[in-house]
Every structure is written in C-alpha cells, then in structure tokens.
Chain A
Amino acid sequence: MTKIKTSKILEFFAILIIMLAVSMTLFSPIPNNIKLIIRVIFIVIFFISWGLFHKKNLTTAKDFAFTFLTLNLAFLIVSFFPSDFWKLQMESSKGFALSKLSDSLIISLVLILSFILVVTS
C-alpha cells in the first residue's frame, strides 16, 4: 500500500517537473537560440519516448509523450513567426493584439491538427 502511494507521489512529481520544464520555455526570458535548442532536444526526447512507449504498449505514458511532443512542436513552429515577421507595431494595441492572435492561432492549430491526425490514424 505504502509502495503504491510512494510511486504515485513520485509519478506526480515526475509529471510536474516535465510539465514545468516544457511550459517554462515558452515564457522564460532566455535567449531565443537557447530556447530553440531546448525545444529541439525536447522534441527528440519525446519522439523517441513516444515510439518506445508505443512498442511497450504503455498507453498512458505514450499519450503523455505525444502531448509533450506536440506542445514542443507548436512552441517551435510559433518561434518562426514573431511580430517582426508580420511587421506588427508592438507599441500599438493593434500590433499587441494581432501578435497574440497569431501565436494563439498557430499553437492551437498545431495542437488540434496533431490530435486529429493521431485519432484518425
């Protein structure tokens, strides 16, 4: 009983640390080139994990690996479309809002399409 409880606590913290590490890369003020390297590393790690868990038939772990993979992929793709790309004036409310709209559309589209593709395949 204690063993099960301990493993559950460990799993909780393992998921928490991975989620924190992934989500912090979106908002933290680290240089973009370092962010890019971190995201590529995450994508490789989660892609390999996804394949591995799929082979071993570990459904929950596979689902988590896939979710983290798509999230990093979305963060990576959105980094190629900064406000400069759309020539937005960030000092204006219009530029500020459209920049957020662009991020939101790209990230949401990548996530939604990835989940649709996996469900239909």
Chain B
Amino acid sequence: MKSIYLTKGRLIPGLIIGILVFVVFGYLAITNPQQRIETDFLRKNFVWILIFVFANGFMEELIFRGIFLKKLNRYMKPVWSIILTSICFAAPHLTVNYTPDVLYFFGIVFVLGMICGYAMYYTRSIIAPMLIHAGADLLIILQIFTSYGVID
C-alpha cells in the first residue's frame, strides 16, 4: 500500500502538521465573522460535519494524489508532480456553485493542492494531507450549512 501512500510514513511529523493545520482551519471556520455559527447548531451537527470532512478529505487525497504522486515522481521531479496533481485537483473545483469568484477559488484550491502534495511527499503518507484537506473543507462546509440551511 506504500505505492498509494496508505502507510504511516513519517507518522509523528505527519500527525503534528496535520492536526495543527486542521485545528487552525477549524478555528478560522468557527470564528469567521462572515458566517456566524450558533453554538447549538455546531453541537447538533458536529458529528456529521466531521464525517463529511474526513470522508471527503480521504477520498480526494486518494483520487488526486495518493494513486498518482509516486508514479509521477518516478517520471518527473517531485515539484512537477505536485504542480500537475494540484492543477488536476483545482480544475474540477471550477464547476462549483458555492462561490461567486471561481477563478479566485481555483487559485486557493491550487495552493491547497500544492501544500497537500508537499505534505504527502514529505511525510510519505496520506494522513497529513487528509487532515489538512479536512480542515480546509471545514471552511466550506460550515459556510454551505449556514448559508443554505440544513435540517438538524
């Protein structure tokens, strides 16, 4: 499973980087002044929000980086592999409808892809990029839930 980064790799640095970024993103998502979140709403939906971000984080990291990065690294320099996978990760996000400025969003997702790609390459594992991805998803999913509203 090492070929698709489903391994513990550099576990301690991976966990430290991943959890740290996840907590920072989580804090930013909750304290964002543009999306006021009620404590009651968070308490009721906490588990479902976490299930969503971790399920999505794991799946997308496996699809866009896990199964490709090592193969691409055999073929080109790691920096080019990371750029290539980041473009492919950001491009499908051009079709999203939860943000008005898709090009700006593309840029943000591309940078996030570069960070996750480097985290996967450096820690040799899917754990850190999955946690970073899940953290970034918190910023989006909380906005979606609060903007469109969900049934508790």
Closest chain-A Cβ to B56's Cβ sits at a distance in Å of 5
Closest chain-A Cβ to B98's Cβ sits at a distance in Å of 12
Is B55 within 8 A of A101, CB to CB?
yes
Is B52 within 8 A of A100, CB to CB?
yes
B16 close to A (CB within 8 Å): no
Identify the stretch in B19-27, B31-39, B64-72 within 8 Å (CB) of chain A at 4 or more residues.
B64-72
Is A92 within 8 A of B150, CB to CB?
yes
A16 close to B (CB within 8 Å): yes
A27 close to B (CB within 8 Å): yes
Is B51 within 8 A of A16, CB to CB?
no
Is A98 within 8 A of B51, CB to CB?
yes
CB-defined contacts of B10 to chain A, threshold 8 Å:
none
Known contacts A92-B152, A93-B150; A19 and B4 CB within 8 A of each other? no
Within 46-85 of A, Cβ neighbours of B (below 8 Å) are at 60, 63-64, 67, 70-71
Q: Which 8 A-B pairs have the closest CB atoms?
A: A27-B92, A104-B55, A104-B59, A97-B48, A97-B52, A93-B48, A92-B151, A97-B51
11 more contacts with CB within 8 A, not counting A23-B91, A24-B95, are: A15-B72, A19-B68, A26-B92, A27-B96, A93-B151, A96-B48, A100-B55, A104-B58, A107-B63, A111-B4, A115-B4
Which residues on B are within 8 Å of A, measured CB to CB? 1, 3-4, 6, 44-45, 48-49, 51-52, 55-56, 58-59, 62-64, 67-68, 71-72, 74-76, 80, 84-85, 87-89, 91-93, 95-96, 145, 150-152
